[in-house]
Chains A and B, each alone.
Chain A
Amino acid sequence: MTALPETTEMVDPVPGADAPHLPQRSELVQLLTPEGERVEHPDYALEISDEELRNLYRDLVLVRRWDVEATALQRQGELGIWASLLGQEAAQIGAGRAMAADDMAFPTYREHGVAWTRGVDPLHVISLFRGVDNGGWDPVATGFNLYTVVIGAQCLHATGYAMGLQRDGAENATLAFLGDGATSQGEVNEAMIWAASFSAPVVFFCQNNQYAISVPLERQSRVPLYQRAAGFGFPGVRVDGNDVLAVLAVTRQALQAAREGQGPTFIEAFTYRMGAHTTSDDPTRYRLASELEEWKLRDPIARLKAHLSRQDKADAAFFESVEREADQLAERIRGGTVDMPDPDPAAMFDTVYAEQTPWLAAQRDEFVAYRASFEEAGE
């Protein structure tokens, strides 16, 4: 029996899985290790002051506290549902803080951290989940569009908005948020094709939290998500989504490239949804506790805290003051939520169109008169 010649090639059983045109850069852009050690990356230098670091830490802690309080409020019957961002704080704060004031964000329904960086009042976000309004903040003033519940639809809005900016000759960019599950949606693919065709100033920021509700990523993609960008014809970067510094540096650079006319970038923030998809979901039914434990070791807040304290960039008094502030925020959220008034039923007619139509105005008047016709009417 003769031995096989050594030059025999092994054929890959999955066609295209190892295609040569796909960049095989599998490394993660990371500037802060899970142990809190600052590392350099050749492509993503980041100059950051100690004060900026402390501010990022404050953002992360406050946003997590908001999220924990909102989850508790849902469990107490005060919110209809809540989509937790637990574990994704660094991805959201890093991306949000990378934006310029006149950039525009197009969020999903989980971007509470980005909302925070855009100055949206947490109670405005909570009012949506309490069902008393449809998201009450001003998208233009905050540069933060209303939450989009339809999966992936906001990518089309972001691309269209970016093409509009382009036509206006404006020098700002849009940041489209999406999750790993949304990459399987038609809208997202269409948005990317259009964005590439027109070199639109849009950055697709994908928080790969590993699960599309219960479907693990490997069921959805045969290649790492950031490699998909190559197929659309723009760069794809994978960044450690639990490293707020790396997310900040990568997103800043991508937004700058978009503003300069270099077209879109796809950022895959590799992170983990440590909580449930929403409060209606039970993740213990589809993932193992060991997986969660593993990701706890990569906690976005713990690593920045370790860095700050080991490098003497923050003292115990600072950490205490942030904790106090978080407690106050939680109290404000709790009180504000419970005290939210019921919406005026007639208000639903007022925001259907940018300008009121005579037909709707008449309907509104009829409705008001009808409600007033009851003896115990509460208006």
Chain B
Amino acid sequence: MTQKQFKLPDVGEGLTEGEILQWMVAVGDTVAVNQPLCEVETAKAAVELPSPWAGTVVELLHEAGTMVDVGAPIITIDVGGAAGEAAAAVPAGSGAATADEPAAGLIGGAAPGGRTAVLVGYGPRTTEARRRPRRSGAAAAARATALPGADYGSGGTDRPPLPSDDGPPLLATAPDMRSKPVRHGGLEVGRQAEAAARREDAAPSRGSAPGRRGPRPLAKPPVRKYAKDLGVDLTALTGSGDGGVITRADVDAAVAERSNGSAAPAARPATTGEQRIPVKGVRKATAAAMVASAFTAPHVTEFLTVDVTRTMKLRNRLAARPELAGVKVSPLLFVARAVLLAAQRHPVVNSSWDEAAQEIVVHGQVNLGIAAATPRGLIVPNVKDAGRLSLAELAGALAELTETARAGRTAPEDMTGGTLTITNVGVFGVDTGTPILNPGESAILAFGAVREMPWVHKGKVRPRQVTQLALSFDHRIIDGELGSRFLADVGALLHDPGVALAF
């Protein structure tokens, strides 16, 4: 039984790491040569890695989602009783070479001179580089064969030995920042970097040098950005992370402290004509939701202007039908219907981002939210499983929803679990906007005012009823293509409701 480990290769010329996106095999699976093992994403491309051997999967050494250094083993495969070419190449009696370590001379195996043979594909070597010992008198012999007068300066063989016993080794094995320049600039650069790093280590008081405002607080770049966005001064914080590093949680705590603190002054009566309104209730919830949404979901908004004359005519015809007697047949009803139909075609629009599980949750049903302006502020009740309702049922549900909301009687369960939202800014006479996503949802459609406008219709400029649609979506989940197709479908349905028959 021979086990081999497949090391993450450099699949794109000079890469140092890759993320395992997913495993396509499991422990115990039988794999064939070139059968895809996993998908790896690097800075350049997402690629599948094919198996170099046939055998049985013994162990997956990294979970999906982890970043792995080029050259690190990622999977162990049992290639069966027949020893592989590596094992076969081990000379008899050399018990040191195991199957996991390919034999001398082979890629990945020990090469003459004590280094690992990494001719191609596995990036820079990570083994410790040591100078090979010289044969006694060898330098003189080498010199003797050199061309007369050919002195290559620093490349000469009589160079003094490199300092190895003062300070750390020149090519450190640890993943240390200081060893990185070695890769690009060669030994000389590496030595300079080493020296600079040692100087820095030796002079911790550098932070108090004139002209500096003390040491920079320790925080990772994303946390710095996060703090900057929220207006938090990192120098005022004490880090709770390892070594006093300021974490995201510290920044969040500072924000919470600040908002608690500001509630008190907010309650003071206004003295200068400016009015101070305590942030509470719906306003507070709205603010929190907006901030959460705006800072977690990267928003993109797309616009579409549509001639909805046919829909408006259809509305008049349908309103006269007995099924729809007694319910309000509003333009919003048709927009809602169009959104529901388009969402059936593009189900991913109706989804959520699950940060904790690192999954996109595509919902089985559309809980259609309608942003409603109420005397107490904005609330977004939703119609559960709106896609199953008939037009009359949908009209009834929408009417009831807005009625209840305006009366301030919306039940909490009607406000949770929404999956897709429409905001009807048109009722205020506004053309369009860039709506912010209802937290947890991935798309929101703003429906503008329907106006009579000059419009090119069948080759002539005619007065037509025109409206604007604006779709904001979470770009983590929805690409421009999907968002555009969804918006175009909604537009097509409103331009010509007959298109619904084709859906």
Q: Hey, which bits of chain A sit against chain B, CB under 8 A?
A: 68-69, 72, 74-81, 130-132, 276, 279-282, 284-285, 334-335, 338-339, 341-342, 362-363, 365-366, 369-370, 372-379
Contact = CB atoms under 8 A, between A and B. Distances in A.
A364 B44 CA distance: 39
Contacts of A75: 9, 11, 47-50
B107 A280 contact: no
B61 to A, nearest CB: 16
B interface, size bucket: 35 or more
B45 A282 contact: yes
Contact of A370 (B107, B120, B142): B142
B96 to A, nearest CB: 15
Given A280-B11, A282-B47, 19 more contacts: A69-B34, A72-B50, A74-B11, A76-B9, A79-B120, A131-B120, A285-B45, A339-B85, A362-B150, A363-B147, A366-B150, A369-B141, A373-B139, A373-B142, A373-B157, A374-B113, A374-B134, A376-B112, A378-B111
Contacts of A79: 120-121
Interface in B50-88: 50-52, 85
Contacts of B135: 373-375
Interface in B74-133: 85, 105-107, 111-114, 117, 119-122, 132-133
Contacts of B263: none
B138 A76 contact: no
Contact of B107 (A74, A77, A334, A363): A77
Contacts of B107: 77-78, 338
Nearest to A74: B11
Contact of A72 (B34, B45, B120, B147): B34
A280 B45 contact: yes
Contacts of A373: 134-135, 138-139, 141-142, 157
Nearest to A334: B33
A79 B50 CA distance: 13
B120 A78 contact: yes
Given A75-B50, A79-B121, A339-B85, A375 B34 contact: no
B45 A76 contact: no
Interface string B358-369: 000000000000
A366 B145 contact: yes
A284 B119 CA distance: 30
A362 B117 contact: no
Contacts of A68: 34
B7, B106, B112 — most chain A CB neighbours (10 Å): B112
B13 interface: yes
A334 B105 CA distance: 17
Contacts of B146: 366
B46 interface: yes
